[in-house]
């Protein structure tokens, strides 16, 4: 079963930093006496933890995650804002996209859902890929879906990398082009061509996971 992307903070190791796979994290800590590291469910939390250091990370991140999401789901499965919720809420008349990858690279899939009803609008699965590729393709698919259907809702993504790649009109993956990945690269090239050949006014917005909870398109694989 595919697992949700995790981020690994290495405070003390061969090369301290934030890594998006256990394999890369392990390279930095293996054989290092007193290595300090920890995994986090979002890049935002990982960045906060890395910035404050291992001694303060637990308390700071705990404060960030204790707050109850201002969103919830009612008995009919509709997304609603909690009563008396403070702070800005996301647009419910919007599309949310997300990707999941079993391994990195590994079996990759993405989907787009309507935020208000959490109805799946589109889905794609590849036998090989990365989480970042999936996030990129999901946004482009959402843009094409909206334009084809003459719709104007915003798109939410929880991936800063993917949002930046779409703005640059380029999938900046480091995944090697091989016989195994050739089909996926065809999909990537089509997505890039769509970005270069189409204009759009759609807002692409960052989903605030810490305040709003998991993005509605999340595959729920923790």
pLDDT by 10s per residue, the chain, length 222:
345 678 899 999 999 999 999 999 999 999 998 899 988 877 877 887 888 888 877 765 555 544 557 787 777 788 888 776 677 889 999 999 999 998 889 999 999 999 999 999 999 999 999 999 999 999 999 999 999 999 999 999 999 999 999 999 999 999 999 999 999 999 999 999 999 999 999 999 999 988 888 899 998 754
Distance CA(156)–CA(119), nearest Å, equals: 15
- What is the structure's pLDDT at 46? 84
Compute the chain's Rg from CA coordinates.
Answer: 18
- What is the structure's pLDDT at 56? 78
* Partners of residue 125 on adjacent β-strands: 109
Q: Is 98 helix (H, G, I), strand (E, B) or coil?
A: strand
Please tell me the pTM assigned to this model. Answer: 0.69
Q: Phi and psi for 7 in degrees, rounded to 5?
A: -125, 135
What's the residue count for the chain? 222
Dump strand ranges (E) for the chain: 7-12, 17-19, 36-40, 71-73, 79-81, 95-103, 106-114, 119-129, 155-157, 204-206
Phi-psi region of 193 (alpha: psi -120 to 50; beta: other; left: phi over 0): alpha
Residues 6 or more apart in contact with residue 155 via CB below 8 angstroms: 94, 95, 96, 97, 112, 139, 142, 143, 146, 202, 203, 204, 205
**How far, in Å, are 8, 21, 37, 72, 104 from residue 28 at the CA level?**
11, 11, 9, 39, 17
Residues 6 or more apart in contact with residue 43 via CB below 8 angstroms: 7, 18, 160
Per-residue burial over 189-204, b = 16 or more CB atoms within 10 Å of its CB, e = otherwise: eebbebbeeeeeebeb
């Amino acid at each position: 079963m595919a697992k949700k992307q995790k981020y690994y903070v290495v405070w003390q190791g061969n090369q301290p930093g934030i890594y998006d796979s256990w394999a890369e994290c392990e390279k930095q800590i293996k054989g290092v006496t007193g290595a300090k590291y920890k995994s986090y469910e979002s890049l935002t939390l990982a960045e906060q933890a890395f910035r404050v250091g291992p001694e303060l990370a637990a308390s700071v991140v705990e404060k960030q995650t204790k707050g109850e999401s201002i969103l919830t789901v009612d008995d009919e499965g509709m997304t609603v804002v909690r009563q008396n919720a403070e702070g800005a809420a996301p647009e419910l008349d919007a599309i949310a996209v997300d990707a999941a990858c079993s391994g990195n690279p590994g079996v990759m899939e993405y989907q787009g859902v309507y935020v208000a009803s959490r109805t799946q609008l589109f889905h794609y699965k590849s036998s090989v890929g990365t989480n970042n590729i999936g996030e990129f393709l999901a946004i482009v698919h959402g843009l094409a879906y909206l334009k084809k259907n003459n719709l104007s809702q915003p798109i939410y993504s929880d991936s800063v990398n993917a949002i930046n790649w779409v703005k640059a009109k380029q999938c900046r993956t480091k995944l090697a082009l091989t016989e195994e990945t050739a089909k996926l690269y065809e999909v990537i090239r089509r997505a890039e061509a769509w970005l270069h050949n189409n204009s759009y006014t759609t807002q692409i917005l960052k989903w605030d996971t810490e305040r709003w909870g998991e993005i509605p398109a999340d595959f729920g694989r923790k």
